[in-house]
Amino acid sequence: MGFADQRFNVNLSILFTELPLLERPAAAAAAGFTAVELWWPWVDAPTPEQSELDALKKAIEDAGVQLTGLNFYAGQLPGPDRGALSIPGEESEKFRANIDIAADFAQSLGCTALNALYGNRVDGVDPAVQDELALENLTLAARAAHRVGAILLIEALNKPESPLCPIVSAPKAIEIVDKVNAATGLGNAKFLMDLYHLSMNGEDLPSVIEQYAAKTGHVQIADNPGRGAPGTGSLPLEDLLDQLAKTGYEGYVGLEYKPGDKPSAEAFEWLPAAARAAR
């Protein structure tokens, strides 16, 4: 097996960012990819104008690529205020206002995976209060995802880069997945296994794959150290993805890495051109 046997998509919120948003889908297509994913593109606007949604939809359709993953509103990404759904007040209200808009946009493009990022811990707020709010909002998000035929993804970030995020291990993310599924009875909450974040947490990646592949709805990769392309660090990503495939995982592997000091179009030398089109 190997990289050529995986199904890859490109995260257009971390790659091709040297281009305007509406030019990125075509750039990914020109690099040979047929599938893309996005963080919520409007960091200050959980409820953008319909014209902006329509323009992005047209850019994706015109490029001939499939949108396979989309984040709900999560504040400034990348940045220190990642996540929104567990932050009382304005941020969680923005998240709720975004739920149906994001779900409907995903449905309009046949996207079947929606990622909901937890929020940071907030000074002066009881963590139990935040967790209760989070479960309420994740329940709403899971129901909206179910309405449009999508899964809800729960992701673990990493403690060095996100020290205020409480979801910084695979077991903790799985705990949240289980709580959401118990609350809704829908079973559509899944683990987003980001191998870069988990490696930054010092987790045993083969063990994580062995234990949690069955509950995994999406995988993302970047090498470590540096969050660059495979081969720029020391993670055995090809071996890890082979192990994942042997568990029966057939979903997409999101390329969520930094291109370094070169144009994004030149950051895919590690992946044969023939392997870039999702099969």
For the chain, domains (ranges, CATH) are 3-275 (3.20.20.150)
Predicted confidence (pLDDT) per residue in 29-84, tens digit: 999 999 999 999 999 999 999 999 999 999 999 999 999 999 999 998 776 667 99
CA dist 279 and 270 (Å) reads: 18
CA atoms within 13 A on the CB side of 270: 18
pTM passes above 0.85 = yes
The burial class, CB within 10 Å (0-12 / 13-18 / 19+), for 77 is middle
- Return phi, psi of residue 39, to 5°: -70, 165
CA dist 226 and 35 (Å) reads: 24
Tokens of 99: 């739920």
Q: Are 84 and 134 in contact (CB under 8 A)?
A: no
3-state secondary structure of 244: helix
CA dist 70 and 36 (Å) reads: 9
Predicted confidence (pLDDT) per residue in 88-136, tens digit: 999 999 999 999 999 999 999 999 999 999 999 999 999 999 999 999 9
Q: How far is CA 185 from CA 39, 139, 221, in A?
A: 27, 10, 30
Residues designated catalytic: 155, 256
